[in-house]
Structure 1
Amino acid sequence: MKRLIILTTALCGLGFAAHAQDKEVNVVSWGGAYEKSQVEAYNTPFTKEKGIKVNMVAADDPATPLKAQVEAGNVTGDVFDVAMADAIRMCDEGALVEFDPATLPPGADGTPAVDDFVAGSLTDCAVGNIVWGTVIGFDTTKFADGAPATVADFFDTAKFPGKRGLPKSPKRTLYLALIADGVPAAEVYDTLGTPEGVDRAFQKLDTIKKDVVWWEAGAQPMQLLADGEVSMTTVYNGRLFDAIVGEGKPFDTIWDGQYLEINAFVVPKQAPHPEAALEYVNFATGTQPLADQAKWISYGPARKSSAPLVGLYNDGKTEMAPFMPTSDEHMKTAVVDDPEFWADHSAELAERFNNWLAAN
């Protein structure tokens, strides 16, 4: 621990300048298109500027090898891209390096990092990189008399007929019912933390239960929509973007009441290249790299100052700003994932949800 404190202090004094001895860094991420976006936006310019090689390691969920490596006392990864809930849990367990926000670069407009990162994306041991949302997608061909635009419309099967796709998960379902019932996004957790609020959510879900098709894997909702099994469904915003822009599907997005979740970089205390790891996190979570990532994938940058710099998709014609979950307009009614709330209430709400599903 003493070594880490000294290391962090030294790097603070250097402003994370390129004085580290390490000439490589091992980054464990999620593979696929997401990894490609990181290679293009973070890794290539990082190596060019710092002379440090980035070795990417793909994992279905980087928190899994992180936990295994820490427990085995054989850590081979330097930087892990994990869900914020996992970052908070492992920080509490004492497995991760703590970051001093003052050592992170300010935003492009000079805003200190602590004020530049979106709410919930900067914690003791984690620096946010992307924000993604669970949104509502709908088939535009199903609503000739007017398109749905709100969460309330999703629950109105009389005005907007058709089946609805929902995740078989209390976390991404109960909040939606409360918003449809008139609870402001900012009051969702306070409401859901009371017995009356829980009852209210399930009563609202009762109104569409017979019309719901439940999904469990991320690819399912888009397939349900494409096959015409549902006219509307909640879906991960990145998958909906791919269908609309990449495949030309006649779908559209309802951003009202989106559920935001954050991915973040963490560094284990036993990282083999700690100096390079901290340099990488510092560089990759800067304003410009986070903005550049949007050229390759439709996830929002975790920094507010990155938003004005988001440009075109890599097709050279699609403006990415309208597809960013972190745009000012889309954030107005967003509900941000609260790991601490779910740590306290997950078990009881999951039991209630499963019992509700099983009931006629």
Structure 2
Amino acid sequence: MPLSQPIILTTLTATTLVFLLSTHLVLMWAALELSTLAILPLIANKSHPRAIEASTKYFLMQAMASTLIIFSGALNYEMTGSYQIAELTDLTSMIVLTLALFIKVGLVPFHFWVPEVLQGMPTAPAIFLLTWQKLGPLVMLFLISHLISLKLIFMVAVLSSLIAGWMGLNQTQVRKLMAFSSIAQMAWIIVIIKYAPSLTILTFYIYSTTVSATLLTLDKMSTTSTKHLITSFSKSPTAATLLTLSLLSLSGLPPLAGFLPKWLTVNQLVSEKATWIALLMLMASLLSLFFYLRLWYNSSSTLPPNTTNTTRLWRKLTPQSNLTINLLVLAATTLLLSATLMKAITKQETPKAK
């Protein structure tokens, strides 16, 4: 329907404003529900069994998380008489709400739905799911970060980075690899949320830009598995080069933009006497680095045998990069804007967590 997309985008924008302007738990829960209902038609836009399965799984997981959120609010209201998220003092309510938000963003041990849902989604809803849809739960995590145990955050972050990297080693489906990449990136986003929330915002911003550029480039190249990447450079050298830059930035290699948040995060963890956590996060990220480099190797560092002049099926289409992909890759690889944000962050003194 022609009016569906404007209505969906308006709903997503309105729910985002509610998250940014409200601290009432019920109001934020309602915004989460509207955001979930808005993206479901995008997931099931194509009447395909995979799309229907992905939308069903996503709805069930988000419904369970939303149930836990409103349940934690009801418990806190019974104990304190308030629905304000800043006045969340009941321990049980705080634990239930934290687990619900971990389900929303797809962190370990509630990560299993992310690769299954992402596998059956079109590209545009997949970008929304990995970026915009996580903004609301992250805002709620910001507001209760001072109440969450530091040991719990460290444990979930390390396990998420480790398990996501480990599960991605033997994966050949590109969408599932991007899902495991998202889980690992979310670990870097939340590990520093208690010490430096501004650094969490910077990490989420760079990740959102980079993963959007990567998914759009993969969609432009019609790539679904790693074996399809072998012929990508022959079809379109420009798109393969842009994909390489996005993947290397997503892996956190210097001097690309993805290196900056990891460097600042490690620096902040070391300054807060959490050296072992920084070391474990770096070691776990080596697993993710392996499948990033494997994607890069298949797309741009090797060519298939070419001993015939006949027209192949993979030669028929020559996808060209568009302006949107070029701008996203430019933002994902340059350090100019990120260096400006880094300068602003380093001038601020972040208080130590208690």
TM-score by length of structure 1 reads 0.22
TM-score by length of structure 2 reads 0.23
Higher relative contact order, chain-length normalized (CA < 8 Å, sep 6+): 1
Q: Which of the pair is proportionally richer in strand?
A: 1
Q: Which of the pair is proportionally richer in helix?
A: 2
